[in-house]
Amino acid sequence: MPPEKQRVALVTGASRGVGWGVAAALQQKGWRVYGTSRHGTGPDGTVALSVDHADDDAVAAAFARIVEETGRLDLLVNNAWASPPGFAGFTAKFYERPVSDWDSLIGVGLRSHYVAAVQAAQVMVPQGSGLIASTSSFGSRGHLHSVLYGVGKTGLDKMAYDMGAELASTGVTAVSLWLGLIRTPLLLGSGLTEFAGFPVSRAEDPAFVGRVVAALADDPGLPALNGHTIITAEYGAAHGITNDDGQTVPDSHRAAFGGGPLFPPPTETV
C-alpha cells in the first residue's frame, strides 16, 4: 500500500506481550505502526519509539513525531503498564504492600492511557475519524490479582464510556477491551496447562488481540460501539477471528466472572 494511503496506528507498551502481538498483527494487516516502550523496542516492521509513559512531555513528543511524519493518526491502542518497585507478582494483600504501588499501577496503568487518549483525540477529532482502544480485563467485574489492578481496569472502562459520550458525533470512537488469559511467551514457557482454572490451550494469542483490534477498526458498526466495553474473545468468535493456529477460537471468561452486561450501564426506565 502506498505510504500516503496507509492507516497509522500507535500501540503503547509494544515491547512484549499483548502490545508486541497487537503491533505485529496490525503491521501484517498493512498498517503503519508505531510502538512505544521504555527501551525503544518492538516487532520488526514497526517504528519503535523510546517513551517513558510516566513522562507527559515524552508522550507528547511521540505524538508530534507521528503527526509530523504521517499527518494523521487512525488508531491508538493503549496498553502501557508498569509494575511497582520490588514487585514479584500479585501475592500480597493490599495492606501488606506499600501505598506507593498506586504510582505505578494507577499513575501509569491508568493515567498514561488518559494522557495518550488526550493526545490522540487532539489529532483524531479535527480529522473526523479514529479509534481509541484501551486494554482492560475481567478485573473490572470481579477480584483479579489485586485491589489496585481492579481499580485501574475499572477506571479504563469508565474512561472509555465517558470519552465515548464526549466524542459523540466527532467520528472518533473510544472502547475498552476485556482480554482473557493471554498466551505470552512467559506463560507458554512455564509448562502450565491451565492458569487460574482456564486452559492455556484456549487462551488468547497476543496477535489474536491485534486481529480483533484491526477488525474493529474496519467494522461498519463501530460507531454504535462508542463507549462500550468489548470482550475480545466474544468479538473474535462473532467475526471468525482465531488464534495463530488458524483454528482455535479463544474462550470468553464472562461466565466465570458472573456474566451479566458490560459498559455502558443498562438504561433504567422509571
Query: How many whole angstroms separate alpha carbon 27 and alpha carbon 48?
Result: 12
Decide: residue 147, CB within 10 A, 0-12 exposed, 13-18 middle, 19+ buried.
Answer: middle
Q: Is 34 a catalytic residue?
A: no
258: left (phi over 0), alpha (psi -120 to 50) or beta: left
Sequence-ordered list of residues with C-beta below 8 angstroms from that of 211, at least 6 positions apart, any chain? 25, 29, 236, 241
The DSSP result for 118-137, as a single string, is HHHHHHHHHHT-EEEEEEEE
Distance set, CA 205 to CA 51, 137, 145, 209 (Å): 25, 15, 20, 7
- Backbone torsions φ then ψ of 219, nearest 5 degrees: -70, 120
Question: What's the full length of the chain, in residues?
Answer: 270
For 172-199, letters b (16+ CB in 10 Å) and e give bbbbbbbbbbbbbeeeeeeeeeeeeeee
* DSSP for residue 13: S
Query: How many whole angstroms separate alpha carbon 77 and alpha carbon 112?
Result: 12
Whether 122 contacts 163, CB under 8 Å: no
Query: How many whole angstroms separate alpha carbon 66 and alpha carbon 130?
Result: 14
Q: Which of 34, 149, 161, 235 is catalytic?
A: 149
By annotation, the residues acting in catalysis are: 149
